[in-house]
A and B are shown apart, each in its own frame.
Chain A
């Protein structure tokens, strides 16, 4: 993130706003109740508003000026722009989740339980991702600019596009005042899925016709792709699969083994990522293991031991101390179990 000219200010009353002058200047003011914002601009200007109370007021923008407003309680925003890249992220409780935006692609993060909003515009495409309370949607925007507004409940109302001016607004309890293309919320997901599915079908038909005899397999593949998009919400993955599969089908025989190897590597990497992700989610932490190991103790002793563990771990001031105590409890489980049963008898 490049910050060339930025001014930070804090407003203790919870309201914050950021306004910047149209050319290379950016100013961010943010609320003190856990809201954090960060901004930087280079070349063109950036405007960001963060409002803790819920309503966010829009900021004006100049030509080629991205504008972001993020709202609600505990929302943090971070924004940085250079000619080619922008980072936008909003997260609750002061945590900021940055998002990268490049000239050709923009992506914004939207954190749950706090309506934060992202914005993304770029020369060719933008992608907005947000979720609140478990809901999430993702949409793609193409060409120039986009405006979006979204509310904290996870629904977003998009706005219109004008010139090369991106404009995204996010406020709590405040509805949009402009109409335009829907870039967030359930509707945007449908648009994105339709586009991807249509592209996949066209590619399938084209390659199938060229290859004569591959029409039905490719149509089947397209159907699978559409289902995959609906289920997985990973359009880029599906498009990549279609492209590689199409290349495999239409390539000369000599190239097939290279493309096959490429496809194999991609599949292997994706599989490895899936396995690692699953393992990371499934392996319990030491504390969880301790909680389950309490089942080895006599019934009357379990809750006492858990309470002891809880009070000790809560008192640990550092992660290192906490790890030491967890390891200590884990290592002493056999002695604790034996002693507990022996004492009980």
Chain B
């Protein structure tokens, strides 16, 4: 799982959100996020809904597409994020010096 996907999942685990907010919170451009969301949607992890048109019209803006994790997607995302964190920790451990292992 790429770091970008992890960033998107981390935001979606928190709450339902839409493209621009997702972009702002993950730090990725919305264009990068879109194919990730497509893949996650195709895999059944993410579902999306368009906000009602009258709400958008009342606020004078285009309708937003909200993304959220499905129940299955949430469970898998949590699992994948845990695994990714463990993997990261292992990698970090490889490169960090062990206590007392330094020799002159």
A-B complex is real: yes
Please give the residue numbers on chain A whose beta carbons come within 8 Å of chain B beta carbons, in ascending order: 304-305, 307-312, 314-316, 324-325, 327-333, 335-336, 338-340, 343
Most A C-beta atoms less than 10 A away, residue of B20, B31, B35, B61:
B31
Within the assembled complex, what's the spacing in Å between the Cα atoms of A305 and B20?
13
The residue that A311 contacts in the complex, of B32, B35, B39, B62, with Cβ under 8 A, is B62
Identify whether the interface residues of B are mostly helix, strand, loop, or mixed.
Answer: helix
Most B C-beta atoms less than 10 A away, residue of A307, A311, A314, A340:
A311
> Known contacts A312-B20, A315-B20: does B62 contact A327 (CB below 8 Å)?
no
Interface flag for B64 (CB, 8 Å): yes
Query: 22 interchain pairs (CB within 8 A)?
Result: A305-B34, A307-B62, A307-B63, A307-B65, A308-B30, A308-B65, A310-B62, A311-B62, A312-B19, A315-B61, A325-B30, A325-B31, A327-B31, A328-B31, A328-B32, A330-B31, A332-B31, A332-B34, A335-B32, A338-B35, A340-B38, A343-B42
Identify whether the interface residues of A are mostly helix, strand, loop, or mixed.
Answer: helix
> Known contacts A311-B19, A312-B23: does B29 contact A329 (CB below 8 Å)?
yes
Total interface residues in chain B, CB < 8 Å: 21
Interface string of B12-31 (1 = CB under 8 A from A): 00000011100100001111
Query: Nearest Cβ distance between residue B1 and chain A, in whole angstroms?
Result: 15
Name the residue on B nearest A337 (C-beta). B35
**A335 contacts across to B, CB distance below 8 A:** 32, 35
Please give the residue numbers on chain B whose beta carbons come within 8 Å of chain A beta carbons, in ascending order: 18-20, 23, 28-32, 34-35, 38-39, 41-42, 50, 61-65
Query: Nearest Cβ distance between residue B23 and chain A, in whole angstroms?
Result: 7
6 A-B pairs with the lowest CB-CB distances in the bound complex, closest first: A328-B29, A329-B31, A332-B31, A328-B31, A339-B35, A315-B20
Is B62's CB under 8 angstroms from A332's CB? no
Is A329's CB under 8 angstroms from B30's CB? yes
Is B19's CB under 8 angstroms from A324's CB? no
Within the assembled complex, what's the spacing in Å between the Cα atoms of A304 and B64?
11
